[in-house]
Amino acid sequence: MYTPESVQGLMLATQEWLEKTSEGPSGQPSLGEFLEKDVESLQAVLRFHEFRYYVENQALISDGQYDQLYKTLAAIEALHPQWVRADSPTQRVGSSLNQNFTTLPHLVPMLSLDNSYNADDLTDFDRKAREGAKGEILAYCVEPKFDGASISLVYENDQLVRALTRGDGVAGEEITQNIRQIRSIPLSAPFSSLGIEQIEIRGEIILSKQAFDAYNQKLIEKGESPLANPRNAAAGSLRMKDPKEVAERNLDGFFYHISHVQSTSGQLAFDTHAAALDLLWKMGFRSPQKEKKVFADIEGVIAFCAQYEAQRDDLPYEIDGMVVKVNQLALQDRLGMTSHHPRWAIAFKFKARQATTVLRQ
């Protein structure tokens, strides 16, 4: 998403803003000094540091420095509300309670995945896929199956305009305001640079193990009951009435599928699933771009799934399996889908964790 040249420019702008905001009486500059173009620069700086912190986990400034810049932006925008953009970092936190959630249709239905539980199931999936491919060479893209709450995002003219829960797969609850609290999800993305006018993206909202433990500790300190597991905590957070409470849970989002694209050219900017994940990463989304792997045969897929199952407890987030997808989008279209699931994808489910319970009399 950010080139070395743009990073250099944003870091230079960051330093300039940090110097500006430490000047003047009480350590604050005169807010009347700034122009609209200055506000746009500060908004861009803050979006960049949100990406580095929440998506790449590589902060380049301290929390105190970020807060310093954020408070300056909020103060300037309060004086000049006409300069506030929909994707400004200050526009994440909601100021009012949601009274209810409206049900809206997905642009493309969200189907479930067929499940597999062993190597034989994957081998059978491979056999059916190759029969459907009719001799065409195919490859598989494999990625973690994140254990969270499914979500669908719609961007129009580069702006996030709608976020829906999975619902019944055809329609979901509109929870855009709550999704705006998740700082790893961009409020805008430069899709128009690829000629994309509208795009629907699928993903999973999760709570990392660290964030889950930290939030539970807060609940315990308040004398409240801790949450059962990260998945339920993430799902429950999406339907909370107060967006500010959503922000406190430090949710995260992984995005792994582009379900709909409307472009000026009428053509896609990618022709494989792996390329779609790379595109999402470049656009500023946390996709499994680093976790994914492409294989030419099912034997490689099976070994990769076993490898991830063995290391699942070492990951910073919960996964309950792997997702195997035919990599070529044209071949996905040819294989099609049933009324329940696509024929070009399957979930490999991990074995349930086992534990011993001691009954004390």
Residues annotated as part of the active site: 145
Vertex 283: Cα angle to 55 and 59 (nearest 5): 25
Q: What is the DSSP string of 102-145?
A: -EEE-SS-----EEE-SHHHHHHHHHHHHHHHTT----EEEEEE
The sign one gets for the Cα dihedral 194, 196, 197, 202 is negative
If DSSP codes are grouped into helix, strand and coil, which group holds residue 253? strand
Separation CA 150–CA 179 (nearest Å): 12
Burial grade of 84 (CB within 10 A; 0-12, 13-18, 19 or more) = middle
Token look-up 């992984």 returns 254
